[in-house]
Amino acid sequence: MPTVDARPSPFEFDLDTTALLVIDMQRDFLLPGGFGESLGNDVARLRRTIAPLQALLKAWRTTSMPIIHTREGHKPDLSDCPPAKLKRGAPSKRIGDAGAFGRILIQGEYGHDIIDELQPLNGEIVIDKPGKGAFYATELSETLAKLGAKQLVVTGVTTEVCVHTTVREANDRGYECLVLADCVGSYFPEFQQIGLEMIAAQGGIFGWVAESPALLKEIAR
């Protein structure tokens, strides 16, 4: 069985039952001049994940293991956005407002879509999610069941928000999650570090953490 050097212990995975999750690598979060930057964030902290993710996708696409991309966002009429989420933040920076790349986090807008470097290929699954977790109000559970997935390699942004929420949801549903430290990003360095530590703490309370080269080595075998 392929085994990745990971914390807190080696992570064994089966090529027939493992899926890759790429969470919310969207222009609104990652592009300079976009929504994320308008909130005062340094998008370079997220953009450091792009090159390792490109390498990971290139290698993963040589296997038969599935790839699932997610996008956080809402319908144009905001009917799927809870008022409490909508009210959050300064009025000029709310979901649905006009941003540099269209209405912020609204499906169909340029900013809502995945960055050019990591665009899904034909046949890859794209799941639109209204929440932080990828399981909430989506078809992810059914999709994973159909694929026969038991283990998830989790990547994307942001580490402490959508990645963490998804890993916790997945862990409670019985999936074993390997989070790739260089392929997940946070606007806040301290959250990046602690977020990863929290996953692997207490014997892997939410999952495992590794660097992508350790996984690439196993994929290349």
Where on the chain is the footprint of ligand C5J (CB under 6 A)? 24, 72, 132, 157-158, 161-162
Q: How far is the CB of 115 from ligand C5J (least distance, A)?
A: 13
Catalytic, out of 28, 132, 162, 177 = 162
Could you identify the residue written with the tokens 């690598």?
25
Contact (CB, 8 A) for 178 and 212? no
Shortest gap between Cβ of 187 and ligand C5J (angstroms)? 8
Give the sign of the dihedral formed by CA 109, CA 95, CA 26, CA 127: negative
113 catalytic residue (yes or no): no
Q: Check: CB of residue 12 under 8 Å from CB of residue 2.
A: yes
Nearer to ligand C5J, 17 or 138 (CB): 138
Structure tokens at 130: 């209204």
Q: Are 68 and 19 in contact (CB under 8 A)?
A: yes
Smaller CB separation from ligand C5J, 9 or 193? 193
Q: Which of 129, 132, 177, 183 is catalytic?
A: 129
- Within 10 angstroms of residue 131's Cβ, the number of other Cβ atoms is 18
162 is catalytic: yes
Smaller CB distance to ligand C5J: residue 8 or 89? 89
| Residues taking part in catalysis | 24, 129, 162
